[in-house]
A and B are shown apart, each in its own frame.
Chain A
Amino acid sequence: MILDGKCPAGPLADKWDKHRQEMKLINPANKRKFKILVVGTGLAGASAAATLAELGYRVEAFCYQDSPRRAHSIAAQGGINAAKNYRNDGDSILRLFQDTIKGGDFRAREANVYRLAQVSNAIIDQCVAQGVPFARDYAGYLENRSFGGAQVSRTFFARGQTGQQLLLGAYQALSRQVAAGTVRVFPRREMLDLVLVDGQARGIVVRDLVSGEIRCHAGDAVILATGGYAPVFNLSTNALGCSVTAAFRAYRRGALFANPCFTQIHPTCIPVTGDYQSKLTLMSESLRNDGRIWVPKNRLDERHPNDIPEGERDYFLERKYPSFGNLAPRDIASRAIKEVCDAGYGVGPGKLGVYLDFADALARLGEPVIRDRYGNLFDMYHHITDEDAYRQPMRIYPAPHYTMGGLWVDYNLQSNLPGLFVLGEANFSDHGANRLGASALMQGLADGYFIIPYTIADYLARITPGQVDTNHGAFDQARQEVEAQLNRLLAIGGRRTAADFHRELGQIMWHNVGMARSATGLQEALEQIPVLREEFWQNVRVPGSGRELNQQLEKAWRVADFLEFAEVLTRDALHREESCGGHFRVEHQTTDGEARRDDANFSHVAAWEYRGTGQAPELHREPLTFENTHLAVRSYK
């Protein structure tokens, strides 16, 4: 099937305005008749829930955390992009659009990305009005920093905790609506299934993580804002509760999963120290503004980094990409780091690390300035490694961080299932094959504050509110299926923990479906994953019962979904016979090792339809056309 993204016709710059004029509205008095279920309370979910409630809809919001404020958006450090051009350095909506399209290696929809750039400015205004304490200069105006993949300073930030501050802004807006009685928040609830009635998304099944109770919730529309799936690699920079479960359950119910192979490996993370490791910690990309990345020229050099003279260091990013240097986009920087480490030049335990050195910046700007800019990051690094980055270079290594792929949505952020909308990292729409720094926060808030409120009205205006409630047979059936799977997990009584299976899956994915992918490696993974899944269902051990707070059961369900989803991701990587953005196929590279895109055959979105566990999913394509950007080879040299 050829998918239709439903992008409005007309000139790029007018599409969104025109579309807004054409969409249906709902009378204020009628809005309260509609109930909307929002799953996930990160930037996208919280901003959507708050805004929809402000408009008058009844909203129920769900999160697995104990409070909506803890969603993983909180961990975003660096900043948020907007085309304000406050610096007078030549920025514009068009330039932000072009940078994002190019950064995504021409695998995103032009119309979506342009709209994202258009609403970016309103996000900053909104956040300032909410009391988000962005960094300011001495005149009292907002500060900006530059970020990877851009040659203008358009990133707004609040120290190294921008995601936290933006999320708290959205959380506070949400709290205001809770106080007003327009939103009900259900914390410690995990969505375990989507309920369809006559092909339309009408509700969800959730597990109360404290009592273990399985409950159904019905609504007129369902919004998934449940984040990405980076923990399919086990070790990632995501929170431990992040999972693909909500999105995957929607996929199993018929929603298409688009471009799952577009995963982002972030270059600046703290290297792994041992097998017990539960997570990898990201060091903000903003560090690359002042830090220089290098390895010793001699691969046997065992000296302390401070003792290695300038001439014996290889600043490989500056050498390979002179115009962007240490600010090369994430996918390019990560792969360059992997290459030097694979060639044996790495530093630290297992030689899986490179230096990120602040000595020059410290000498040029002084310690107080560096402390002011990155103090919390240096502290965090010190907590974890016991090393003082003011005195010696940091060690960094790439780690899975963000997933550009996600549930397929049209221009209205609606999936192929009517009534199911997908926002933020959970959808696939705006970042193509690689996301630029400081664009995730922008997209999450754009979707929640400024896009879904318009587009969902257009859907709701066409349906009758309150048509189904949880007494409908579809809810009962979905609940029984959830209970059956929970009971099955509890009944296995095998010998290995869910975490143990997750580690093994992570190894398969990292080595075969990680930064450099080959047809043989992918085929190998496609053989190993079903075997591991088979063993999981024979040999996992989940202690306790389903009727209580049971963290092992939560973990086991999530791992079970990852074990199925990993296969979809791998198939997509095998299908995409080209290298683009975060997806690098070793068969498709230039002579100097750069990615080689195949626009003739792969300028499309690959959206996969579920066909049963262990069955190959069915591929649908949405062609991507580029009318406003020149399809160029991405060069940061």
Chain B
Amino acid sequence: MNLTLHVWRQRSADEPGRMERYLAEDIEPEMSFLEMLDVVNEGLIAQGLEPIAFDHDCREGICGTCSQVINGEAHGPLANSTVCQLHMRQFRDGDEIYIEPWRARAFPVLKDLVVDRSALDRLIQANGYVSVSTGGVPDAHAVPIPKINAETAMDAAECIGCGACVAACPNSSAMLFVAAKVGHLASLPQGRVEAAHRVCAMTEAMQREGFGGCGNHYECEAACPKGISVKFIAQLNREYLKALPGKILGK
């Protein structure tokens, strides 16, 4: 099939960008979206033009590197999927496809569709961990954890850190990303010890990094390739309410 692409091109972080039009010809329905871009890029290189820069790595939906807004949807039209797992059978011959980078103040564009997501790393550095050092820990069976809690923790821990929640949020908020980590660790006894400090530190870091606030629009959940539920944002709010008295009393 043949498609018309409108792709965001931007030489560097400091230069303005614009949408450019390209033709993608003889595309097979079995191709992944990124393979389609590979084919387009090979064509551009052959014509002496600069290929489109885009982030990608594992191409199996787990590393969280790929990051494109396709026709106004983060990771494109297929639910619970990353761009790399989106296949061209989702499109029809003659379609026009708009491809844009994640857009948020906290995710500056580096080039074309490549953005800087180091803000997400800094959120995890704000106590998005259990403060345990290597060695000297009890046997793994020392503390039984109810299956349902372990499952809830896993539901949240599946986050791949791609940033689609931020890209899709009308407010560019990272609340689902933060809530996934807060929810993951707060559901386990090992993470409870620091739960109060964690929820405060991570949400404060989110504000510092220039993400917007959560407006409960739930676009994040719809865009999340792992389908992480906004119930974790409700859990984050509960955790924060629990932490608040200590915070106010300066404990």
Contacts and interface: CB of A to CB of B under 8 A. Distances in A.
Nearest to B157: A133
Interface stretch (B57-65, B164-172, B216-224): B57-65
Nearest to B152: A133
A129 B138 contact: yes
Interface in B150-205: 150-151, 153-154, 157-158, 160-161, 184-185, 187-188, 190-191
Interface in A94-144: 122, 124-131, 133-142
B125 interface: yes
Contacts of A289: none
A138 B53 CA distance: 48
A75 B141 contact: no
Interface in B55-95: 55-65, 78, 80-81, 85-87, 89
A548 B34 CA distance: 22
Interface stretch (B1-9, B25-33, B207-215, B232-240): B25-33
A176 B141 contact: no
Interface residues of B, number: 78
B175 to A, nearest CB: 19
Contacts of B154: 133, 135, 158-159, 165
Contacts of B158: 159, 161, 164
A273 B30 contact: yes
Nearest to B85: A383
A306 interface: no
The interface centre, meaning the residue of A127, A137, A176 with most chain B CB atoms within 10 A of its CB, is A176
B80 A379 contact: yes
Contact of A172 (B31, B129, B151): B129
Interface size class of A (residues with CB under 8 A): 35 or more
A278 B59 contact: yes
Interface string B37-69: 011001001001111010111111111110000
A63 to B, nearest CB: 11
A129 B141 contact: no
Interface stretch (A64-72, A416-424, A614-622): A64-72
Contact of A124 (B28, B80, B111, B140): B140
A135 B150 contact: yes
A179 interface: yes
Main secondary structure of the interface of B (DSSP, over half): loop
B118 A187 contact: yes
Contacts of B132: 126, 129-130, 173
B114 A179 contact: no
A279 B60 contact: yes
Nearest to A142: B140
A48 to B, nearest CB: 10
A499 B191 contact: no
A282 B60 contact: yes
A497 interface: yes
Given A74-B58, A75-B58, A141-B144, A131 B188 contact: yes
Contacts of B243: none
Contact of A75 (B12, B51, B62): B62
10 contacts: A66-B118, A67-B121, A74-B62, A130-B129, A130-B132, A140-B145, A239-B59, A273-B28, A276-B39, A277-B35
Given A130-B130, A171-B124, 6 more contacts: A50-B134, A70-B57, A129-B132, A133-B188, A134-B140, A176-B131
Which A-B residue pairs are the 7 nearest by beta carbons?
A: A140-B144, A172-B129, A129-B137, A133-B153, A133-B154, A128-B140, A239-B58
